[in-house]
Amino acid sequence: MADLRLRVVAGIVSAGVALGVAELLAAFFGADLAPMNAIGATVIDHTPDGVREWAISTFGTNDKAVLYICMGLVAVLVAGLAGAIERTTRAAGSAVLAIFGVVAAIVVAARTSAAGALPTIIGVAVGIYALRVLTRRIDAADAATEQAATETRGVTTGFGDKTGKPAPTPASPRAGCTADPARTERAAAKPERRQVLQGLLVVGGLAVVTGVGGRLLGARRHDVSGERAAVELPQPSAPETPIAPGADLRVPGLTPYLTANEDFYRIDTALVVPQVSKDDWSLRIHGLVDREIRLTWADLANRPAVERLVTLACVSNPVGGDLIGNARWLGYRLDELLAEAGPHPDADMVLSHSTDGWTAGTPLSVLTDGRDALLAVGMNGEPLPVVHGYPARLVVPGLYGYVSATKWVTELEITRFDRATAYWTRRGWSALGPIKTGTRIDTPRPRGRIKQGRTTVAGVAWAQHRGIRAVEVQIDNGPWQTARLADEQSIDTWRQWVYDWDATPGPHTLRARSTDATGEVQTAERRDVVPDGATGHPSVTVQVS
């Protein structure tokens, strides 16, 4: 069945060349035109919550790589099948490729424009052509083998193959030897077989060259990391006070007060990180406003910038999880920008849009109540890293990222909650997302083995824009004990805490809870992250010897 294998390979390399050609064309006209990117993005947009949660908790930040691998496997299966059923006289495999091509073209067109489907359509056309050519060669080789077999059995059919070419001369069995029929057949079909292998090699090579070349070229053409490195950030007019030494206790195993950019969690739906040049970027503020305004990167340079410490948190962060980080953000006050546009009195929502179509719905009241909500351009003294929204994003103290922290932001649409629904709200998450009071135990580690005696229990606590008043620790089911808090640098950031524990031998469970500055104690009730953030006390079990 070597034949079937060749057909399967023919299908795979043909689909490969289809995708490769589409990638190459997309490199010139935009990464979102590449069919795999568009299909992946569409899959992400339609993934049910349960699956999304499971993917994030199982694969973490590799969830997108896993999606690509899954799509690749499906593509290989379908393409292999298409190759297996294609014949010169019956283009069933081509039909399969065409159907997938049409679906992919529709998906790309829906995300971009009708013309955006062209790379996909051209790619699929090339792929189908490749499959036709390869299948014709395989059929010819098949016929030649068949004929050689017939001839070795002493029956001459007398006609050539279906293409009308004369039948190949069968190699005569060597004199004096008993002919091995199978071997003779293979020898007979040799030129045809060589043609098949050559064809597979050429098409496969073309698939790799166009695919890899397209990816590299696309990355090179659109990559903004070079221009980012050359960006000069504005000087903040009112720099954030230096971080008080007492805000960062520097306890071994405890999360540092400031999160380095490389260590900052990343959550977004972008399969391909948007590459937005600051020179093409602008922010349009429109909708229910007196004056629509549009700000370019150059316009920002004339405005006063501020620097603020804000702890960002993801609504998908489970109790004890690490989808939270604290950074020094440099940017422009949103209340000032909004005031210039003049929101109408009936407006109550700012729907922020990113270049990749993602949206967040933020209460207008939150953005104008005096808190340090920013259009941020800098993170910890650097331009925003590309994955964190270069050239500009929103940062709003006190709200989960899904309702506020739009990266690659280009539009603030002033609207109403009863008119507009943001990305995650459409998918079952709450329209409002104030951050819930949270606590995490960083040390000792879960299931850790520690020695008896004095042990430092430490972690972080947060209640952004309300502030943390107290953290308490409970050993097993004992009384709640007050932990020592680090200095409060800002009510918009998390606060470290430490508790000295005299550990006694045996297994122990440690729990922690916080009280925010309004006096509300963090609830023990365990709730899942959907629809508006997890609740419950974090706990860590250790073995003391």
Name the site residues for ligand MTE (rule: CB under 6 A). Answer: 264-270, 312, 314, 354, 356, 358, 388, 401-402, 405-408
CA 391, 392, 393, 397 dihedral sign is positive
Nearer to ligand MTE, 184 or 259 (CB): 259
405 binds, among Mo ion, ligand MTE, none (CB under 5 to 8 A by kind): ligand MTE
269 binds, among ligand MTE, Mo ion, none (CB under 5 to 8 A by kind): ligand MTE
Element (H, E) at 69: helix 63-85
434 interacts with Mo ion by CB under 5 A? no
Nearer to ligand MTE, 192 or 307 (CB): 307
Nearer to ligand MTE, 93 or 321 (CB): 321
Instruction: Please tell me whether residue 4 adopts helix, strand or coil conformation.
Output: helix
CA distance 135 to 300: 59
CB of residue 312 vs Mo ion: minimum separation in angstroms? 9
Q: What x/- string results for residues 311 through 330 when contact with Mo ion is judged by CB under 5 A?
A: ---x----------------
534 interacts with Mo ion by CB under 5 A? no
Nearer to ligand MTE, 197 or 267 (CB): 267
Q: Select from 112, 393, 361, 390 the least CA-distant residue to 274.
A: 390
Phi, psi of 356 (to 5 degrees): -95, 15
CB of residue 531 vs ligand MTE: minimum separation in angstroms? 13
Looking at the DSSP assignment, which residues form a beta bridge with residue 440? Answer: 460
Phi, psi of 367 (to 5 degrees): -75, -10
Nearer to ligand MTE, 79 or 314 (CB): 314
CA distance 329 to 322: 20
CB of residue 50 vs Mo ion: minimum separation in angstroms? 16
Position among 234, 401, 433, 444 found at the interface with Mo ion (CB under 5 A): 401
Position among 390, 402, 423, 497 found at the interface with Mo ion (CB under 5 A): 402
Distances (CA, A) of 14 to 76, 96, 218, 306, 386: 10, 12, 22, 55, 35
H-type alpha helices, 291-342: 297-301, 334-341
Nearer to ligand MTE, 408 or 494 (CB): 408
Nearer to ligand MTE, 95 or 233 (CB): 233
358 interacts with Mo ion by CB under 5 A? no
Query: N- to C-terminal Cα distance for the chain?
Result: 64
Nearer to ligand MTE, 60 or 246 (CB): 60
Residues 6 or more apart whose Cβ sits within 8 Å of residue 392:
281, 283, 331, 375, 376, 377, 384, 408, 409
CB of residue 333 vs ligand MTE: minimum separation in angstroms? 19
Phi, psi of 305 (to 5 degrees): -105, 150
Nearer to ligand MTE, 82 or 312 (CB): 312
Tokens representing 34? 């590449």
Nearer to ligand MTE, 425 or 490 (CB): 425
Exposed / middle / buried, residue 531 (Cβ in 10 Å: 0-12, 13-18, 19+): middle
When CB distances to ligand MTE are compared, the closest residue is 401
406 binds, among Mo ion, ligand MTE, none (CB under 5 to 8 A by kind): ligand MTE
Tokens representing 147? 């004929």
CA distance 10 to 21: 16
Tokens representing 146? 């068949």
Q: Report which DSSP code applies to 99.
A: H
CB of residue 407 vs Mo ion: minimum separation in angstroms? 11
CB of residue 402 vs ligand MTE: minimum separation in angstroms? 4
Per-position DSSP letters for 396-448, written without gaps between them:
-TTB-GGGT--SSEEEEEEE-TTT---TTTTTT--S--BPPPEEEEEESPTT-
CB of residue 445 vs ligand MTE: minimum separation in angstroms? 23
CB of residue 255 vs ligand MTE: minimum separation in angstroms? 15
Per-position DSSP letters for 388-404, written without gaps between them:
GTTT-EEE-TTB-GGGT
267 interacts with Mo ion by CB under 5 A? yes
Q: What x/- string results for residues 295 through 314 when contact with Mo ion is judged by CB under 5 A?
A: -------------------x
Determine contact, residues 320/330, Cβ cutoff 8 Å. no
| Listed ranges 220-228, 378-386, 402-410, 490-498: which one lies at the site for Mo ion (CB under 5 A) | 402-410
Instruction: Please tell me whether residue 318 adopts helix, strand or coil conformation.
Output: coil
CB of residue 44 vs ligand MTE: minimum separation in angstroms? 9
Angle (nearest 5°) at CA 69 between 354 and 118 = 60
CB of residue 357 vs ligand MTE: minimum separation in angstroms? 8
Looking at the DSSP assignment, which residues form a beta bridge with residue 402? Answer: none
Residues in the chain: 545
CB of residue 279 vs Mo ion: minimum separation in angstroms? 29
Determine contact, residues 385/443, Cβ cutoff 8 Å. no
| Listed ranges 9-17, 267-275, 433-441, 512-520: which one lies at the site for Mo ion (CB under 5 A) | 267-275
264 binds, among ligand MTE, Mo ion, none (CB under 5 to 8 A by kind): ligand MTE
460 interacts with Mo ion by CB under 5 A? no
- Tokens 């050239």, residue? 391
Nearer to Mo ion, 55 or 133 (CB): 55
HSE of 503, CA atoms in CB hemisphere, 13 A: 23
Nearer to ligand MTE, 265 or 332 (CB): 265
- Tokens 């609504």, residue? 315
219 interacts with Mo ion by CB under 5 A? no
| Listed ranges 38-46, 263-271, 353-361, 522-530: which one lies at the site for Mo ion (CB under 5 A) | 263-271
358 binds, among Mo ion, ligand MTE, none (CB under 5 to 8 A by kind): ligand MTE
Determine contact, residues 309/526, Cβ cutoff 8 Å. no
Nearer to ligand MTE, 358 or 501 (CB): 358
Binding site for Mo ion (CB under 5 A): 267, 314, 401-402
